[in-house]
Amino acid sequence: MLRIFRCQMSAASKNTFFGRERELLQLQRLRSTVKDKSISRFVVVSGRRRVGKTRLILEALPSCDDMPSVYVYINPHLDAGSNLEDFSESLRECLGWSRPRRLHDFEDALMEVFEVAKQRPITLVLDEFQNFGRVEPSFYGTLQKLWDLHHEKMQLLLVVCGSVASSMREIFENGQAPLFARNNAVLHVEPLLPDLVKTVFKSYCPNFSGDDLLALYAFTGGVAQYIQNFLPMGAFTLEDMLQLGVEENSVWLSEAQLMLASEFKGSAQTYYEILRRIAAGKNKRAELIRSFSIDVSAHLYQLQHEYGLIESLDLVGQNGAKRQRVAYELNDELLDFWFTFILPNQRILQSHNTQAIRQLILRDYPNRSGRVLERLYRRHFRNLGLFTQVGPWWDRNGTNEIDCVAVDDLNQTVCFAEIKRNPAKIQISSLKEKAKVFLSFNPELENYQTLFLGLSTEELGSDKKLPFET
């Protein structure tokens, strides 16, 4: 049973929009530009599933009298005719038609919007834009033709939004694609940063612990919709989140598989196996390549640069090696969790023994959550805007390792951080010795001011501040 009485939950929390000030401002400025300068703008909004793209757009671009907004969701499970009917209904609601007009095709639908945009400013939002590839593949060519012919005569803010990274790149970055170089702006929506996850948590539970926040981040990675799966239900602790998330027919359990299926589409066995091995800790590039009977260099490149599912774990500075070893990590906490705990235990899951899965996760969680804590703090440091370099460091023999090094070249400061779940295990004296080794390999930083931090789950509690937080 969930311990839902531990915190007093705010009824307004679920509907409150948190953060995203930069993204909101960017969209609102584009809208003002269209209105004030009587021009058109074509904006691409991308980001992983459930990250909050649609909510952001609706929050930034509400329909109003001086600039109505037409919102259309492209449903991959409906045929072109049904999606066209939905498009017509959206136009009716927005433009005040007495009844939906009969549209023969999507070219008709676009021209209805374009003709309005020649008379007054208007916003058109096409959500899950990549689904046109399944519903009506010719749409991209149609839009390119009409945009080229009419955009200079209109006051239109065209916003297209998509969740499948590989498809959106193919649509807009492939030089042979119809819509290549047509967009004026790109906005990539990232998961919520750790400080904002903390703010959201506090709106539901004012007295959570650092371990509670780490568990929420380990389960969700800051993805807005996943957070909403837990906090409004009163799941504020690791045990409660496991109880809610790891149960039969849980949507959360199948989410990673759905996400990967939408990206890979065809045969994905090699991609899955690479991701599984990286999640298991076999993350050095050379080690990965040697472990396969086929050359997976191209697969690694695609996973990083086309699918955006892994990232290289770049060391700060030099470590004495003539050639730096390239290492990878999954850049999505849900995928890391799924490949670590769910995929290897499918047999248990299929036997409906969810309690056994929970026990396995609880057994191995301390080790995995330590890595999550390191990623959380490094992400926090990167997004502060204070440092020019942020990352881990180790020497060529692996004898000396530093969890996080953050360099501020402007103010000539270097910060060394040891990150442990248990603050009692942090040894600043040992960290200082490792820093000496680091500086011996990076003499250009020897005259920088040094700062040493011990970071644990304590700084994540509701009554504490994250490092350098104002």
Out of 262-266, 298-302, 316-320, 324-328, the most confident range is 298-302
Specify if 419 maps to a domain: yes
> What's the average model confidence in pLDDT over 305-316?
89
Span 199-218, mean pLDDT? Answer: 96
Domain that holds residue 386: 382-460
Q: What distance in Å separates the CA atoms of residue 111 and residue 109, rounded to the nearest whole number? A: 5
What is residue 2's predicted lDDT score, i.e. its pLDDT? 45
CA dist., res. 295 & res. 290, Å (int):
8
Q: What pLDDT, on the 0 to 100 scale, is given for residue 1?
A: 41
Whether residue 440 is predicted with pLDDT greater than 50 in this model: the reply is yes
What is the rounded average pLDDT of the residues 286-291? 92
Which residues touch 323 (CB under 8 Å, ≥6 apart)? none
Last residue of a domain, one of 188, 221, 255: 188
Which one of 145, 162, 188 terminates a domain? 188
Residue 99: count other Cβ atoms within 10 Å of its Cβ: 8
Stronger pLDDT, 11 or 390, i.e. the higher one: 390
Q: For 149-203, how does the pLDDT look when each residue is reduced to its tens digit (9 = 90+)?
A: 999 999 999 999 999 988 999 999 999 999 999 999 999 999 999 999 999 999 9
- Measured CA to CA, the distance from residue 71 to residue 53 in angstroms comes to 13
> Is the pLDDT at 267 greater than 70, yes or no?
no
Mean pLDDT of 306-332: 85
290 domain residue, yes or no: no
State which of 165, 188, 211 marks the end of a domain: 188
% of the chain surpassing 70 pLDDT:
95
Does residue 420 surpass a pLDDT of 50?
yes
Pick the residue with more confidence: 12 or 363?
363
pLDDT confidence of residue 10: 52
The pLDDT value recorded for residue 3 is: 43
CATH code, domain with 126: 3.40.50.300
pLDDT of residue 266: 62
Distance CA 237, CA 60 (A): 33
Average pLDDT over residues 370-382: 96
What is the predicted pLDDT for the residue at 14? 58
Tell whether the model's pLDDT for residue 274 goes beyond 60. yes
- Give the integer Cα–Cα distance in Å for 380 and 373: 11
How many domains, in total, are found in the chain? 2
Separation of alpha carbons 374 and 32, rounded Å: 41
Contact indicator for 420, 376 with CB cutoff of 8 Å: no
In a domain, 433, yes or no: yes
- Please report the pLDDT score of residue 12 as a whole number: 46
Domain assignment of residue 322, yes or no: no
Residue-wise pLDDT for 377-402, tens only, equals 999 999 999 999 999 999 988 889 99
Give the model's confidence band at 5: pLDDT under 50 very low, under 70 low, under 90 confident, else very high.
very low
Q: Which residues pair with 162 in a beta bridge?
A: 46
Q: Residue 430: pLDDT above 60? A: yes
Predicted pLDDT at 261 = 84
Domain assignment present for 320 = no
Q: What pLDDT does 398 receive? A: 82
- Tell me if 370 is assigned to some domain: no
| 460 touches 213 (CB < 8 A) | yes
**Residues sharing a CB contact under 8 Å with residue 214, sequence separation 6 or more, in sequence order:** 369, 372, 373, 376, 421, 457, 460
Strands 328-330 and 310-312 turn out to be antiparallel
- Whether the pLDDT of residue 301 is over 60: the answer is yes
Residue 108 lies in a domain: yes
Q: What predicted TM-score, i.e. pTM, was given to this entire model?
A: 0.90
Average pLDDT over residues 271-288: 92
pLDDT for position 16: 79
pLDDT at 455: 98
Strand partners, 369: none
What is the secondary structure of 62-116 as a DSSP string? --BTTB-EEEEE--TTS-HHHHHHHHHHHHHHHHT-SSPPP-SSHHHHHHHHHHH
Paired with 310 in beta bridges are 330
What CATH number is attached to the domain comprising 401?
3.40.1350.10
CA distance 163 to 44: 11
229 in any annotated domain: no
pLDDT of residue 100: 64
Q: Distances from the Cα of 286 to the Cαs of 8, 21, 282, 300, 390, in angstroms?
A: 51, 41, 10, 11, 23
Contact between 135 and 109 under an 8 Å Cβ cutoff? The reply is: no
Over range 202-231, report the average pLDDT. 95
* Mean pLDDT computed over 431-437: 97
